[in-house]
Every structure is written in C-alpha cells, then in structure tokens.
C-alpha cells in the first residue's frame, strides 16, 4: 500500500520536473477582473526580419502582462491583459486587396483597440503611396494608429493628423527643415536656394522651409524689441531662388540649374532621393556648382541608408538624417530597391523592433490616463460588413487624445548609440514634438572614396557640430556670398515742359525766378502771362546733336 502512495508522489514530482532537472514555471492563473485588449502590429514581410519583429512585439506584450515592464506601466497588469494580433503585408508595393484583407480579416475581426504600422522603406515611389493608402483606410475604422514610417515626408496628409487618429513617431520633414536653418545660422549663411526633385512630398518640404522662415522671422522681431538690443544678433534668412527639377529630363535640369547659378545661390537645400540626387549632381558638376564655392545640404532622403557614395555627389556636402535601418553602400541600395529591409537576418541597429516595443508602452500610458467617465470596453466594434458591426469606433477618440498627451522613453536610433534617455512627446497634431537628428558630412577618405560620417546632432532646437571636411577639402566653410554684384543704372530724359500756375497775388508775377510779363502766342492766339526761367536744359536730340 505504501509503495503505491510513493509511486503516485513520484509521478506528481516528475510532472513538475523536466529531464534536465529544471523546475517548470507554472503559468499564473488569469485574473477574471482583467480585460482582454487586442493590439495589432502591421509590417511588411522581410525574410528573417519578420521573425524578429514578431518576437519583439510578443516580448513587450508579455512584460506588460507580467508587470515586469517599466515601473510606470506595472499597474496595467492589474487591469488589462494585452494580446498580440499581427498582419504581414507583402514586401514593396502592396495593393487594395492586401490592405482590405489585413483590415477586415485581421484587425477588425479581432476587435483591436490599437493599430501599430511600421515601415522602413525609403524609395518614395508607389511604396510610399501604398503606405499612405493603408493609413487612410485604417483611419476610417476610428481605431487609433501609432505609425513609424521612414518615408513619411512623402505623405500628403495635412499637418494635423487628428482627423486620422494617427500618432507619427518618425521625425517629420518640419524638423529637418528646422535643422537646415540652424546650420545656415551656425555658419552665417543668410541667403540660400532650394532645389527639389519630382519625389513625393516636394511641395511639403518647400512649405516647411517657408514656415520655418516665418517662425524665425517672428523670433527676430522679439530680439529687436528687447531692452538689451546691443547684445542681440539679428539673423534673417532669405530664400533667393527655388526650382523644381524633373530628373528624367536632362534639358530641364540644365536650364533650371543655370537659373540657380545666375541667382547666385551658393548654399542649396536639396530634397530628393539618392538616385535623383546622383542625377542632379551629375548636371550640377557640368555647371561648376559642386566646387568649393558651393555647399549642398540634403534631407534624410538624399543620404538614405548609404554609408558610401559612388554616384556623382559633392564631396564636403552635409545631410540631415535620422536612423532608419541597416546601413548599405550606394551601389547595393540603388540596384536592390528593398535592400533596406530584405536582409536575411535582423541587424542590431534595426530601428523597427525598438518602435514595435515602444508603441504598446505609449498605448498603455494613455490607458492609465483615462478618467472614470471615459471607461468603456476596449474592444472596437468595427466591421467591414454592416450587419456585423459599426463602421467607426467612436470611443477610439478618447484613447487617441490621451496618447497625444502621454510620453514614452526610448531610443530613436539603435541600442548602441547612447540616446536611451530620449522622450517621445507629441504635438496636438499627433506629430513628434522633438527629434534627434544627425548631421552627416560626405568626406573623401584616403582611398578616394566618398563616405558619410557623423559630424553633428540637432535636438531641442540646439545644434552641436564637430569638425567638417568642407568642399574642396577646405578647413573653413564657404562664404555663401555672391561672386559679383550686377548693378544697372537707368536714367530717364524728359523734354522741357510748361508749368501753369496762378501768379503771385502780391507781385502779380510767376513765383520763383521769372522774366517780365510778355505776350505768348500759341496756335495764333495771344495769351498774357509771364515766362519763368528755371535754367538751361541740355539734351541730345535724335540726330545726336547736343542742345
């Protein structure tokens, strides 16, 4: 009898101990008071990387549910049970069918309370348009969206993303424009030109530059009215020329770059992608516009993920950029359109896993801010079919507004760059309030190769710069001033004329110098008047005779 009891106890012990002698961790019982909250993450399929994205997402969900996340979010584990829903779109351009399949069969069918949408593509072509289509279609559900899109500068959304309930965690083009103007001020370049390609978002970039000009102009006015005016330095920008180039038309590029040169724009802000920038620099070189007297400053899209540049480019130029993924050389990127995210394994500096882990934390911080009168079921009742649910989740607006007011601490670059103390905060428009932007310099190394190197950081409206290799390998920056000043003097000759006025009431004569009263004969009619002598007039008649 005793051996049966001992045998039974041994069986129970074996069930709790694996063959390696490690005790199994028992899954905690679900708290019936916790509400299930589904969160969807949407990304494109990349061989190897998709697994790391899925792993990162489920890991942060587990930590939040186990109360092992950051201390400020541990209260979430007592109230909610987050659950992961994923939707993987095709690589590159995806179409309406894939978008609707994702939204109808994955997102709305699981009653998600949040959509996370991340992309690292920087092609600024049909892929960018597809991304915007997904965001637009998803916004029709009313479900809040947290997005991080490397090519968000190519979107055509209005500045205020509130109607779409989108939080955009990637740096907006306005921050890049602000960093560019900070460079102009740092090196005393008040006059500049702007060159844009046909790349999506070119009008938005010019608008952003103009708005930053107005913004800074208002600040300058405040400096003027300061009581301590003698210590103030007033710096005013002037966009002296702007042209839009069609990089598919060589004649158009030559004509418009000639106009840029004629207008004496020595400092040029460039908005284009890497391939278009190469075409522009090839033509600029023919016009002697990439030498030591010029300086080109590119946006994020000009550099992209390149570390070396083999296409035509200005050695010594600058670029404002943020981290988007694995760095690649120029030739590989140009010939492999989706090379940024097609690596067979996820590199350590891939930004998307970081964003995927930050987004649920921002969502959780917003849930903790919900007021008692804003408590509602966190299951969206949206459906693609009218008979299965509502077309729009009205309650999503409460979560969205609290997400705009919330913040989350995280790294905007990658785990090794030392920016772990950055706080993601947002404007009322749903866009990032502050960014960490890197200033890169295209240097020529000992092998004659052109490579991008970090020389500065722009954040919190502050610019910090290290030594720069300027065009022509000069030690000092170009002056940015015009080579010559063209002045035209125009004179206007008018023939003598007669001034008719009343005579002086006291002298009964003309006012001023005069000759006595005489009889004037005009058209055989006599008039009594005075001839006023105002001096001699010398002029040259049509025959060239001076009179």
- Two tokens, residue 301: 């899209």
**Strand partners of residue 88:** 43
Can you tell me which residue has the tokens 């998803």? 138
Backbone φ and ψ for 356, nearest 5 degrees, come out as -60, -30
- Tell me, what's the pLDDT at 506? 77
- Two tokens, residue 197: 């390609």
- Buried b / exposed e over 132-145, threshold 16 CB at 10 Å, is bebbeebbebbbbb
328 touches 305 (CB < 8 A)? yes
Crossing angle of helices 274-286 and 250-262, rounded to 10°: 60
Domain finish residue from 401, 424, 447: 424
Shared domain check, 57 and 117: yes
Please tell me the distance from the alpha carbon of residue 498 to that of residue 418, in angstroms, as a whole number.
83
Shared domain check, 291 and 194: yes
In a domain, 296, yes or no: yes
Shared domain check, 462 and 315: yes
Shared domain check, 317 and 439: yes
Shared domain check, 139 and 41: yes
30 touches 80 (CB < 8 A)? no
In a domain, 337, yes or no: no
Where residue 454 sits, what CATH number does that domain have? 3.40.50.2300
Q: How many CB atoms lie within 10 A of CB 202?
A: 20
From first to last of its 547 residues, what are the pLDDT tens digits of the chain?
A: 444 444 444 434 334 434 333 433 334 455 667 999 999 999 998 766 788 899 999 999 999 999 998 888 999 999 999 999 999 999 989 999 999 999 999 999 999 999 999 999 888 989 999 999 999 999 999 999 999 999 999 999 999 999 999 999 999 999 999 999 999 999 999 999 999 999 999 999 999 999 999 887 755 433 333 344 444 556 688 999 999 999 999 999 999 999 999 999 999 999 999 999 999 999 999 999 999 999 999 999 999 888 899 989 999 999 999 988 654 444 434 444 444 444 444 566 688 999 999 999 999 999 999 888 888 899 999 999 888 788 999 999 999 999 999 999 987 765 555 566 799 999 999 999 999 999 999 999 988 899 999 999 999 999 999 999 999 999 999 988 776 666 778 878 776 666 667 777 777 776 665 555 555 555 555 555 555 555 566 666 666 666 6
Please tell me the distance from the alpha carbon of residue 77 to that of residue 367, in angstroms, as a whole number.
12
In a domain, 23, yes or no: no
In a domain, 480, yes or no: no
Please tell me the distance from the alpha carbon of residue 253 to that of residue 267, in angstroms, as a whole number.
18
Number of independent structural domains in the chain: 3
180 touches 317 (CB < 8 A)? no
In a domain, 205, yes or no: yes
| DSSP 8-state class, residue 255 | H
Q: Which domain holds residue 463?
A: 174-321+435-473
Please tell me the distance from the alpha carbon of residue 527 to that of residue 390, in angstroms, as a whole number.
95
Torsional class of 461: left (φ above 0), alpha (ψ -120 to 50), beta (otherwise) = left
Least Cα distance to 155 among 104, 182, 121 occurs for 121
- Two tokens, residue 394: 């009205």
Shared domain check, 376 and 296: no
84 touches 39 (CB < 8 A)? yes
Which residues, at least 6 apart from 539, have a Cβ–Cβ distance to it below 8 Å? 493, 495, 546, 547
Shared domain check, 178 and 157: no
Please tell me the distance from the alpha carbon of residue 175 to that of residue 169, in angstroms, as a whole number.
12
- Tell me, what's the pLDDT at 319? 98
Shared domain check, 387 and 260: no
384 touches 143 (CB < 8 A)? no
Shared domain check, 166 and 179: no
**Strand partners of residue 286:** none
In a domain, 330, yes or no: no
In a domain, 355, yes or no: yes
Backbone φ and ψ for 30, nearest 5 degrees, come out as -70, 135
Domain finish residue from 385, 400, 424: 424
Domain finish residue from 403, 424, 445: 424
Which residues, at least 6 apart from 196, have a Cβ–Cβ distance to it below 8 Å? 202, 205, 206, 242, 243, 244, 245, 270, 271, 272
Shared domain check, 283 and 203: yes
In a domain, 198, yes or no: yes
Shared domain check, 136 and 43: yes
- Tell me, what's the pLDDT at 19? 37
Shared domain check, 308 and 165: no
Q: Supply the pTM of this predicted model.
A: 0.79
Element (H, E) at 519: strand 517-522
């Amino acid at each position: 009898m005793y051996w049966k009891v001992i045998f039974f106890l041994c069986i129970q012990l074996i069930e709790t101990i694996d063959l390696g002698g490690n005790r199994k961790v028992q899954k905690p019982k679900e708290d019936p008071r916790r509400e299930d909250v589904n969160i969807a993450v949407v990304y494109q399929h990349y061989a190897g990387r998709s697994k790391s994205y899925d792993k990162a997402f489920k890991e942060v969900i587990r930590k939040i549910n186990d109360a092992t996340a950051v201390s400020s979010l541990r209260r979430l584990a007592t109230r909610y049970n987050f659950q992961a829903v994923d939707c993987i779109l095709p690589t590159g351009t995806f179409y309406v069918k894939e978008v609707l399949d994702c939204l109808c069969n994955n997102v709305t069918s699981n009653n998600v309370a949040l959509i996370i949408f991340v992309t690292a593509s920087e092609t600024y072509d049909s892929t960018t348009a597809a991304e915007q289509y997904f965001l637009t279609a998803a916004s029709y559900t009313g479900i809040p969206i947290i997005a991080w899109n490397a090519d968000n500068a190519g979107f055509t959304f209005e500045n205020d993303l509130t109607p779409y309930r989108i939080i955009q965690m990637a740096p907006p083009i306005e921050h890049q424009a602000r960093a560019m103007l900070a460079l102009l001020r740092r090196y005393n370049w008040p006059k500049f030109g702007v060159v844009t390609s046909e790349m999506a978002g070119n009008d938005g970039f010019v608008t952003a530059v103009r708005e930053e000009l107005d913004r800074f102009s208002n600040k300058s006015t405040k400096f003027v009215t300061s009581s301590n005016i003698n210590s103030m330095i007033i710096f005013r920008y002037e966009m002296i020329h702007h042209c839009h180039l069609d990089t598919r038309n060589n004649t158009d590029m030559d004509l418009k770059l000639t106009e840029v040169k004629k207008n004496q724009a020595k400092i040029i802000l460039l908005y284009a992608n890497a391939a278009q920038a190469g075409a522009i620099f090839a033509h600029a070189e023919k016009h002697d516009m990439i030498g030591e007297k010029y300086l080109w400053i590119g946006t994020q899209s000009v550099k992209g993920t390149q570390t070396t540049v083999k296409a035509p480019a200005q050695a010594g130029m600058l670029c404002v950029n943020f981290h988007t993924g694995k760095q690649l050389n120029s030739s590989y990127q140009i010939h492999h359109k989706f090379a940024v995210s097609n690596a067979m394994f996820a590199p350590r500096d891939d930004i998307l896993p970081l964003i995927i882990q930050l987004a649920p934390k921002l969502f959780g911080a917003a849930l903790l801010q919900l007021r008692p009168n804003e408590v509602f079921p966190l299951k969206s009742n949206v459906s693609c079919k009218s008979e299965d649910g509502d077309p729009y989740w009205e309650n999503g607006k409460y979560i969205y507004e609290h997400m705009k007011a919330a913040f989350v601490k995280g790294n905007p670059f990658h785990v090794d760059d030392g920016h772990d103390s950055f706080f993601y905060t947002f404007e009322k428009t749903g866009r990032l309030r502050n960014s960490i932007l890197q200033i890169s310099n295209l240097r020529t190394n000992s092998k004659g190769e052109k490579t991008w190197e970090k020389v500065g950081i722009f954040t919190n409206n502050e610019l910090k710069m290290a030594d720069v290799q300027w065009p022509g390998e000069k030690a000092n920056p170009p002056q940015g001033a015009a080579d010559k000043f063209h002045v035209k003097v125009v004179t206007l000759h008018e023939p003598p004329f007669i001034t008719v006025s009343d005579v002086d009431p006291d002298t009964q004569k003309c006012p001023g110098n005069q000759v006595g009263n005489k009889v004037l004969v005009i058209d055989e009619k006599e008039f009594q008047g005075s001839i006023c002598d105002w001096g001699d007039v010398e002029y040259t008649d049509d025959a060239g005779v001076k009179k």
